[in-house]
Amino acid sequence: MRPLLDRALQGYNACLFAYGQTGSGKTYSILGSESGPDAGIIPRFCCDLFSRPEVKGRTAGSPSLSLPATPAQDDERVQFQVEMSYVEIYNEKLYDLVGEEDEEGAVREALRVREHPTLGPHIVGAAVHPITSYEQLKMWLCHGNRERSIAATGMNEKSSRSHSVFTLKLTRTQTESVGGEELQHSRVSNISIVDLAGSERIGASGGYADRMKEGVCINKSLLTLGKVITALAESATGKRRCFESLGGNSETAMLATISPASCYAEETLATLRYAGQARNIVNVKHINEDPAARIIRSLKAEVERLRARHSLRVSPTKLFVTERSPVTPANHQKKTNEQLAEEEARRAEEMLVREREIAALKHELSSCTSQLHRAKEEWNRRLEKSARAAAAALGRCEKAGIFVRDVLPSDERPCLVNLCDDEQLSEHLCYALKDGATTLGAQHTDLILKGLHSSGVHCTIYNDQGSLSLKATSGCEVFVNGELIEENCMLRHKDRLVLAGIYFLLVWIPKDETANSGSNDTKNFAYAREELLRCQEQRLRKQILEEEELARRELLQELQLKKQSVQQLQLNL
């Protein structure tokens, strides 16, 4: 990603998209861990961006913006504005991952894509947050990944089988001193990092109806992307976002992931053919800057040329005064009075033209300066709005008791860890358990778990100095280690908690000394699901046997009653 970052800092668009079959490592390569040696492309790219000497301390809104100019930068100053957005595409519908959340329990509406005549395709209603530091960007990235984890954990209409598009908008504003006046011009770079959902054969996946629908939408969008790569023509809803990155104005890279298993040889060849077609695309790249900047740069070059030509040592505002060049005696003899008059008239006319150009340029410069002041005020307002949105997002997470899984090893508080069929989203969220009673439910509870059937409290967990006990609400299904709980029960470290067959949670009690020796074994989503199915099967078998035994007893009692009635009739006869 460093070559792409270098080009982006120069003013070019940049894009990286990952393509490959399901389970080949696309999401892990793009996201990875949030920090450390296993960090993915997005965290590394963002960290490298804010670590660059030309960006560090020069981000608009950062405390260290005003830096002393170096000798090479006495007449120019550089400032960067960074904005980010994060959306996912699920079943050909766009959803914002970092937008403002609606009221509790509300279903988010899909966003729409519109075509602007000059700006191109853009997403209507998608949140775009100004960024001043890597820590702030990391917070929004974690928030977006947390939203995907919550959606996948609840197993509702959105799952982890979706495309994700992470976009950074980098605006480089340079201030130059020309003739004692400050001149500003900017370059804008759009950086897109796309994690495409894995392609697969539906027959081989063996999914249910919802999974088959997801697979159809995924394969349809990937097929359309293939058409864009080969023909650059039609496109699906989500791929219109990548038009500028494929065969357009962008520096584009493709990450092709494959599986080493021989049974996936067909998918591997398809991925390699896909990558081979992508290599044949020729992008026409140019620096994204406003036309006024190019005009101003050309006029500045003209001023420098005239200064060198006339060897004047005056300011550019007095560049075209009528100052006669030294004339040697030989040249003076050759020039007649008429030639001198013509030369003076030509210089006067040129001076008037240049003065009009300078006046028009000053007027345009003052207009641009006022626009920049308004843009700076708007940027400050956006920073304040983004800070309020970040505080609100953190407040919602704290209210819901959610925090990031990476803080778990150094935290001794009991909590519930999410389990999901997607390994990248599993064990990513933690629901903190406060001292005393913690209620779980779909709404109006301490821990809000959207998607539960009951509208009130589903169950209650009591925390007594690290000792946990659970009480299920009557009529609500709560399973612990696969067993249906009808009364109170104690919870131990790494117990599997399943709510209504929808939420799979892992009980985490770091101080639990009663945990058995096998507690270090892997207890993932597959283990919890198989355990639940196995226990349900045993419970159903036991229920069937009990019903058969009850029916047998009832039949024996009925036979005994009939036998007694027959004997009574015989005695009466």
- For residue 65, CA distances in Å to 163, 354, 370, 383 come to 36, 37, 21, 15
Q: Which residue has the tokens 């000792």?
A: 467
β-pairing verdict for 483-484 and 120-124: unpaired
Say whether 24 counts as a known binding-site residue: yes
- The residue among 483, 486, 485, 488 whose CA lies nearest residue 542 is 483
Backbone angles phi, psi at 323, to 5 degrees: -120, 120
**CB-CB contact of 505 with 431 (8 Å):** yes
Say whether 105 counts as a known binding-site residue: no
Query: What is the Cα–Cα distance from 155 to 282, expressed in whole angstroms?
Result: 41
Say whether 26 counts as a known binding-site residue: yes
**CB-CB contact of 48 with 5 (8 Å):** yes
Say whether 318 counts as a known binding-site residue: no
Say whether 465 counts as a known binding-site residue: no
Give Cα 387 distance to the centre of its chain: 18
The SS3 assignment for 179 reads: coil
Residue 147: CB atoms within 10 A of its CB come to: 21
Say whether 473 counts as a known binding-site residue: no
The token duo for 198 is: 């894995």
User: Which residues, other chains included, contact 59 with Cβ-Cβ below 8 Å and sequence gap of 6+?
Assistant: 50, 65, 79, 80, 81, 82, 131, 132, 133
Query: What is the Cα–Cα distance from 494 to 510, expressed in whole angstroms?
Result: 9
Query: What is the Cα–Cα distance from 505 to 524, expressed in whole angstroms?
Result: 9
Task: Count Cα neighbours of 406 within 13 Å in the Cβ-side half-sphere.
Answer: 9
Give Cα 235 distance to the centre of its chain: 22
**CB-CB contact of 457 with 555 (8 Å):** no
User: Which residues, other chains included, contact 78 with Cβ-Cβ below 8 Å and sequence gap of 6+?
Assistant: 54, 58, 172, 173, 174, 175
Q: Binding site membership: which residues? A: 20-27
Q: Binding site membership for ATP: which residues? A: 20-27
